Each structure stands twice: as structure tokens, then as C-alpha cells.
Amino acid sequence: MIFLITGGSKCGKSSYAEKLIFHLSQGKQANYLATMRVASEEEEAIVRRHQEYRKEKNFIVHESPLRFPDFLESSFVLLEDLPNLLANHMFGGDGYEGALDKIVELTNRIDNLVIVTNEVGSCILKYPIETENYITALGRLNYVLAKRSDCVIEVVVGIPLAVKGVLPL
């Protein structure tokens, strides 16, 4: 089963995704694919906070800003998150197509995959062309992945809403 979890910033989607992966694995060990690439003190603080927080969880973490490991210990995998993976590819990797290839390859080999994504397309401001291209690419990636997903969930103020399929919890 592939689950795509979306929502705005600080809507509770990551907490829900973590609950979901351990619900699926019945508490057994899961892999955590962390995609954030550290480029500032603020990001370093976020990564440190996440690492600290994940220590208490039954995760094997792989830092995967661009590509995923060939071997994953568990068949339960949480990918956090798509916007960072895409940004890493578009601003220093092999573009949208590269990100799409990597993620599609992952969906083909993992039995239970939970993907956290984000909404960035609801904004009045106009951005430089690189950013505009990124917004379009993330919308497209979400669209493509939603088609491949068994269940798409939008989290709103901490409440999961089924957009496609049935809520697993």
C-alpha cells in the first residue's frame, strides 16, 4: 500500500505519518528516509530536533537527500519529505525527472510506503522563474504520486481527511 500524506505547514501531517507507519508495521521497526539537506543554521536545528525526537522511535534512519539506499532493512518505509527531495534535485541534482524516477523506483519496490508531501501552490505572490518552476513541479509530482497511491490523506489542523481511499486510522 502506498499512502500520500499532504497538508500545509505545521498541520500535523508528520505526526500522523509516523503514527501511520507504526500502525502498519504493528510497532515493528520501520525505515525513515530523511531528505532535508542542511544549508543553514535554522535547517541544522530542525534536523537536530528531528534526530533527537526520532531516537525514541523504532526507526532506522537513512539520510537520503538525493537517492535512496538500495537495501532497506524494513518493508515499512516513511519518506519525509517530497518537497525537500524535489528541491534537492531541482536545485543541484537532476531536476524534476530525476526526483520522479527515484520516487517511482521506490514505490515499485516497497510494500508499505508512507510519503509526506506539502502544498505550496496556494499563494498570491509571484516568484522568480526557478521557484515558479518548483511550485509547478511539486504540484505535478503530487498529482502523479496520488494516482499511484492507494490512499491520499490531507491533514487539516491535526485532523486527517481522506482525499482518496479509506482512512487507515
Partner 1 sequence: MILFVGGRASGKVDAVKELLSIEPQEVTAKQALTTPAINHLENIIEALLENEQSVSDFLTRLINENPSAIILCDEVGSGIVPLNRKDRVLREEIGKACCYLQKHSTAVYRVVCGIAIKIK
Q: Which of residues 6-65 bind partner 1 (CB under 8 A)?
A: 7-12, 42
125 lines the binding site for partner 1 (CB under 8 A): yes
Q: Which helix (H) or strand (E) holds 131?
A: helix 129-148
**Cβ-based nearer residue to partner 1, 7 or 93:** 7
Q: At its nearest, how many Å lie between partner 1 and the CB of residue 9?
A: 4
- Cβ pair 101, 135 in contact under 8 A: no
Q: At its nearest, how many Å lie between partner 1 and the CB of residue 119?
A: 4
Integer Cα distance of 66 and 40 in angstroms: 18
157 lines the binding site for partner 1 (CB under 8 A): yes
121 lines the binding site for partner 1 (CB under 8 A): yes
> Which residue type is seen at 70?
D
Cα distances from 57 to residues 14, 27, 50, in angstroms, run: 13, 9, 11
For binding to partner 1 (CB under 8 A), which residues are involved? 7-12, 42, 119-125, 127, 131, 134-135, 156-159, 161
